[in-house]
Structure 1
């Protein structure tokens, strides 16, 4: 394919442009530009070399697609890139209102969102023009306006074609058949049993290999997939990514593919051999236990406790509960009286309290095996009912979301390099759908450092101390002012000096061999996160140097306290520039189409999820939830528990998620028509993959 190029439009004569505001027929959805991709926008219609601009703002066009309408008439779809002038936009909108004789603007409105002064915006929206090639393209007649919209900044502009697609998909007979099947008592029981059998498997962060292996086994032996459709390996390898090791360890994701039709098209675009994909994922790791248990007792014990009893306070109290679920040697649930007790479902906690419900104690009940397990149940149902997308859909159980997992599963899938802080998106995902619920689009970033202060080779009195060096570093860090404290109005930025500990002093010794310190820094924006890091990170060495200087020791010598980095964690930050992208559109409109929601407004809060990685890489994200719980508590604690909720809620949530995902991926409908993908075929990235 030709190398991708774009053409800036620079205003030569202001009189040749109109300055209309408002109007338009709505924005379209995301469309990527092909790497190695497309002809320049204007060159495609015979206007190579022409130039124009709007109020000092440069607008570049990159062609996404062209479609022949008749012998000489073609429709062209373009992404736009706007280089702003010195005036910031709080909720900007770019609109192409006219393009001269022979050219019709079919869609000209593109939401830009917030754009800083002199910054560049790369919105997901597209414009569409229709041009008759028998006539010359009159570039001087292109009329643009860039204004601030009066609409709330976090209210999405849903394209009419997205609304139509979601409505069609949600009502499709194939989708209805799948949902009817999942609504049967047998299917509800199957999902429940599957959840119990998966959540029973201990799955500590970075040691998820047992859960991944069981999912791999079931994908082929029970859920209807061929080995070639399983995209992950037992050793943690994923073909096609450029990141298979994170923090020196394998990554135990478990992914399966629902094959789409797009790659067989003669005009199919790809990114370095990878055709477009939509990802639906939920993590399979837990905080507790921190490591795999011994072979003598290798399973989680699923304990049952009446609501009339108080929630446990200690591991000993939990272990002492006599009632627990039983499993056979093949890890199949035994349907005895305890199973019947646990399988009762309720609409809420009050109903469970009054109706004889029980707390079901097991790590990962709510966070988040119930939703992840149902993600695989949905994958199996899609396979069974031959649901055919246009783009490939990957359904993954991801590793490393909790604790020191460092978002390893997502970093593998998105080729995220910690040292560079960039993602190559080597598998070419065009949208990401998490299964933690919430509809979050802003993501709190963090840096986490675990530093080790080491004692001199010959420790003793009147010599530097690792403990004192650590204390000195803590004291220095405690005086640090955050950007928010220094500059009112700056994004809220925090830091925490976490666990500080020392190894036991050896028998006969006077000093611990080493001490370790954990420090966590958080901010919703990369710039302020980097700012606080630049201040705090040198404090570790400053504490060491101060302690060595007290005793006249030279840093790095055998008689000096040393410093080493034991572990570095990065959750990349992201603040949405605009709410208008394919994932948000599909997430919101799927709620409307299925009756689950009526809103087109997105919350302004931020959270820290798996989505941090794709969002920071440039891939739009949304979260659905597939579980159903009448109550729960103890998330991330040894006493995590839940009570079964209404199975019908799971089915309605499947309906919404399936509608949203297929809206983005495209769908072969029962009537023989094809609902086109709402996202372009080339995903975004912040680093090019090297192949």
Structure 2
């Protein structure tokens, strides 16, 4: 199992929401000039001023939303609070769709079809019963979910308020969205609905997630996730000794898969990872279990490698179970594979206008833009070739996905909201 531990560490390294950049890309001068022209506008200047003036209220909104726990599939209560904030901030219309996405429409002036969307996700990784009360230590706020991605939701509210107070109009319609199901087993269900089923003509997408200002994701890290359930008759550890044992069979599955997968991922291929994240089953120490299960996560930079390790996984499971059933035990075990996650890979060219504008806007704030890859809401539009970026929340923070998560609103906090506004105006078209 030594090699399996090594692979688990590889998987952990890939778990961050927006992975750090691999490359810096040149920004075309025309986009730098476009951003410079935008920030000279009196309306944009006024909007920036409103963002600064709203910071105290923005932080109050952060506390309010953080203290409404929103596990995946149970985002409704937080969604309602976020919807009320959108209404108060001045959206033209608002609705909650079939899966729970909260969508605010801000109309543009062109009358053209096709939306520019900007979102942050409503859900957090924490289960029901988690204490999400916010505590303050100096200027630092501490609570599970305070950064990922509750801070992103408050950025949308501040941005919308600033646009309305300064009289900014865009040419294209804007969708300002609190999405559901970004985390874990939510499996991007909010974005999958928006892009696969809603019928909304979405031209481009901006997601707010991740941490530092300057981190830009233009690529999606794909993943496949499965639950393996092994079943047997079960019985007494002494009285039924020799009976097929699902735990023993699952152990063989893990051993064989980790060995074969380590050989594959160690080859000369783009980075690919695997991880057994959870294991369970059994009733007592002196009982042969009737059921054993595990959850497996596989990720890859390239879609072909993701397909290959998925095939290898399925073959390993089938082979291990067959070998176990042929090992001389009494009776046999059966198994079931349940897919619990499917996030597509994809990558957009840095030369796309939206990505160029995002980098130029980032550079305006004196921050070096860095492109990277992550497992975020943009996996869905990116896989379809729809222009999309994921940008950071700014400020300082840490402990994401832990009970010790914290957020400190330094000067990059309001700057990140201004950045989101600039990118949105550049993409949607700005009426002076």
| TM bracket, shorter-chain basis | 0.7 to 0.9
Match of 1:611 in 2: 378
Change (3 A) 1:620 1:154: farther
Match of 1:440, SS state, is: strand
Deviations 1:636-687 (A, max 9, x none): 11121233434xx443333322122111111211xxxxxxxxxxxxxxxxxx
Structure 2 residue 396 is matched with structure 1 residue 620:
no
Equivalents in 1 of 2:386, 2:325: separation in Å? 47
Superposed displacement of residue 618, structure 1: 0.9
Match of 1:597 among 366, 386, 391: 366
Q: Gaps spanning 5+ residues in structure 1: where?
A: 1-151, 238-250, 269-274, 294-298, 306-356, 416-423, 554-558, 670-691
Structure 2 residue 40 is matched with structure 1 residue 203:
no
Match of 1:452, SS state, is: strand
Deviations 1:549-586 (A, max 9, x none): 33588xxxxx542222344212211234x311122111
Q: Gaps spanning 5+ residues in structure 2: where?
A: 1-21
Equivalents in 2 of 1:425, 1:213: separation in Å? 20
Superposed displacement of residue 544, structure 1: 2.5
Match of 1:510 among 274, 282, 287: 287
Match of 2:95 in 1: 231
Superposed displacement of residue 484, structure 1: 4.5
Structure 2 residue 111 is matched with structure 1 residue 257:
no
Given that 2:90 and 2:160 are in contact with CA atoms closer than 8 Å, whether structure 1 keeps it comes out as no
Given that 1:431 and 1:582 are in contact with CA atoms closer than 8 Å, whether structure 2 keeps it comes out as no
Structure 2 residue 414 is matched with structure 1 residue 668:
no
Structure 2 residue 414 is matched with structure 1 residue 642:
no
Structure 2 residue 119 is matched with structure 1 residue 302:
no
Change (3 A) 1:292 1:255: farther
Equivalents in 2 of 1:661, 1:219: separation in Å? 17
Match of 2:293, SS state, is: strand
Given that 1:154 and 1:579 are in contact with CA atoms closer than 8 Å, whether structure 2 keeps it comes out as no
Superposed displacement of residue 399, structure 1: 1.7
Match of 1:421 in 2: none
Equivalents in 2 of 1:492, 1:456: separation in Å? 40
Higher-RCO chain (CA-CA 8 Å, sequence separation at least 6): 2
Match of 2:252, SS state, is: helix
Equivalents in 2 of 1:304, 1:390: separation in Å? 41
Superposed displacement of residue 368, structure 1: 2.2
Given that 1:464 and 1:550 are in contact with CA atoms closer than 8 Å, whether structure 2 keeps it comes out as no
Alignment: residue pair count: 403
Match of 2:309, SS state, is: helix
Match of 2:351, SS state, is: coil
Deviations 1:439-477 (A, max 9, x none): 122332211111111123778433322112211211210
Structure 2 residue 344 is matched with structure 1 residue 572:
yes
Change (3 A) 1:389 1:292: farther
Superposed displacement of residue 492, structure 1: 1.6
Match of 2:168 among 387, 397, 402: 387
Structure 2 residue 23 is matched with structure 1 residue 175:
no
Match of 1:654 in 2: 417
Match of 2:38, SS state, is: helix
Deviations 1:28-76 (A, max 9, x none): xxxxxxxxxxxxxxxxxxxxxxxxxxxxxxxxxxxxxxxxxxxxxxxxx
Equivalents in 2 of 1:403, 1:510: separation in Å? 32
For the pair shown, the structure with the greater C-alpha radius of gyration is 1
Deviations 1:331-383 (A, max 9, x none): xxxxxxxxxxxxxxxxxxxxxxxxxx264321112222123212122123323
Equivalents in 2 of 1:512, 1:201: separation in Å? 38
Equivalents in 2 of 1:402, 1:552: separation in Å? 41
Match of 2:25 among 155, 159, 170: 155
Match of 2:12 in 1: none
Match of 1:492 among 271, 294, 298: 271
Match of 2:257, SS state, is: helix
Superposed displacement of residue 215, structure 1: 1.1
Change (3 A) 1:549 1:484: closer
Match of 1:281 among 119, 126, 143: 119
Match of 1:56 in 2: none
Superposed displacement of residue 153, structure 1: 8.5
Superposed displacement of residue 211, structure 1: 0.8
Deviations 1:619-651 (A, max 9, x none): 12223334433xx332111121233434xx443
Change (3 A) 1:385 1:157: closer
Given that 2:226 and 2:339 are in contact with CA atoms closer than 8 Å, whether structure 1 keeps it comes out as yes
Superposed displacement of residue 404, structure 1: 2.0
Match of 2:7 in 1: none
Given that 2:66 and 2:145 are in contact with CA atoms closer than 8 Å, whether structure 1 keeps it comes out as yes
Given that 2:27 and 2:359 are in contact with CA atoms closer than 8 Å, whether structure 1 keeps it comes out as no
Equivalents in 1 of 2:25, 2:86: separation in Å? 39
Given that 2:118 and 2:207 are in contact with CA atoms closer than 8 Å, whether structure 1 keeps it comes out as yes
Deviations 1:427-449 (A, max 9, x none): 22222212125112233221111
